[in-house]
Amino acid sequence: MEESSPMKLEVEQLTAGYGSIEALHGINLSCSSGEMVAVIGSNGAGKSTALNCICGVVPASYGEVLLDGRDILDEPPHRIAMMGIAQVPEGRRVFPRLTVLENLEMGAYIVRDKAVFGERLEFVYNLFPRLSERQRQNAGDLSGGEQQMLVIGRALMRNPKFLLLDEPSLGLAPMVVENIFEIISGLVGSSEVGIIIVEQNAAMALSIANRGYVLENGRITMEASADELICDERVKAAYIGG
């Protein structure tokens, strides 16, 4: 039997900004199902803007966002989510007064089949056993690391085709970051989801990615395999050190 080709998410000549300030200047990037792509760069380089444009939260002034060849740039955010793109925004935005389980239920608001919901919930609890232990606890009472697990789990409840992670290491202790990145890395091996991870922690992001892009002042300045970028002297000097 012939294998089906992987689904692709492609960004072409994407240009966007805020008012008169242009944040992205015609960037191109792509991600296939079962692949992890890292986008690294300094604060203010346009990394979060790129993810927000893909999800329809920030309007683009020019370019295309293609999901398996279909341009979704003009679709509203809820439609893009239903098409299979889930974003985990920066800042661990849980619903603090809802329980862990209720937060996960919010992530599965488009899932109508109870059996499918149960399967997704089991998948998330197996991925993050701590969430199962805390399922009746209010999300606002969780630690920072637990909240990050929750927002990732909430996004996965929709069984997305592509998962966009915005600064998942932000504000977390190094040991917690290692644990979460290990779980994120395992997602690619255990599912067909494609992941785009935006990170200031370049070394950590590139250590688990297949490919990477360097975004500087709203422009893609480098594209290569993760191994090549980690060894590149310019990348080391600017983003990794040592």
Domain chopping of the chain, boundaries = 1-84+160-242, 93-159
| Whether the Cβ atoms of residue 146 and residue 134 lie closer than 8 Å to each other | yes
> Quick one: pLDDT at residue 4?
63
Residue with the two structure tokens 């805390």: 134
pLDDT tops 90 at residue 6:
no
pLDDT in tens, 65-108: 999 999 999 999 999 999 999 999 888 889 999 999 999 999 99
Strand order in the sheet with 85-88: 85-88, 162-166, 194-199, 36-40, 211-216, 219-225
Band of pLDDT at residue 242, cut at 50, 70 and 90: low
Identify the band that residue 19 occupies on the pLDDT scale cut at 50, 70 and 90. confident
Considering the chain, what is the average pLDDT of its residues? 93
Phi, psi dihedral angles at 95 (to 5 degrees):
-90, 100
Q: How far apart are CA 82 and CA 141, in angstroms?
A: 30
Query: Would you say residue 2 has pLDDT above 50?
Result: no
Confidence of residue 1 (pLDDT cuts 50, 70, 90): very low
> How far, in Å, CA of 150 to CA of 141, rounded?
12
Give me the torsion for CA of 50, 53, 59, 63, rounded to 10°.
80
The answer to whether residue 50 scores a pLDDT higher than 50 is: yes
Region 103-121 average pLDDT: 91
Residue 3 has pLDDT above 60, yes or no: no
Q: 178 Cβ partners below 8 Å, 6+ apart?
A: none
- 156, 123 contact by CB (below 8 A): yes
| Of 106, 111, 151, the residue nearest 128 (C-alpha) | 151
The burial of 26, by beta-carbon neighbours within 10 Å (0-12 exposed, 13-18 middle, 19 or more buried), is given as middle
Summarised one tens digit per residue, pLDDT across range 158-190 is 999 999 999 999 989 999 999 999 999 998 877
pLDDT tens for residues 217-227? 999 999 999 99
- Burial class, 155, CB count within 10 angstroms (exposed 0-12 / middle 13-18 / buried 19+): buried
The verdict on pTM exceeding 0.85 is: yes
CATH topology of domain 1-84+160-242: Rossmann fold (3.40.50)
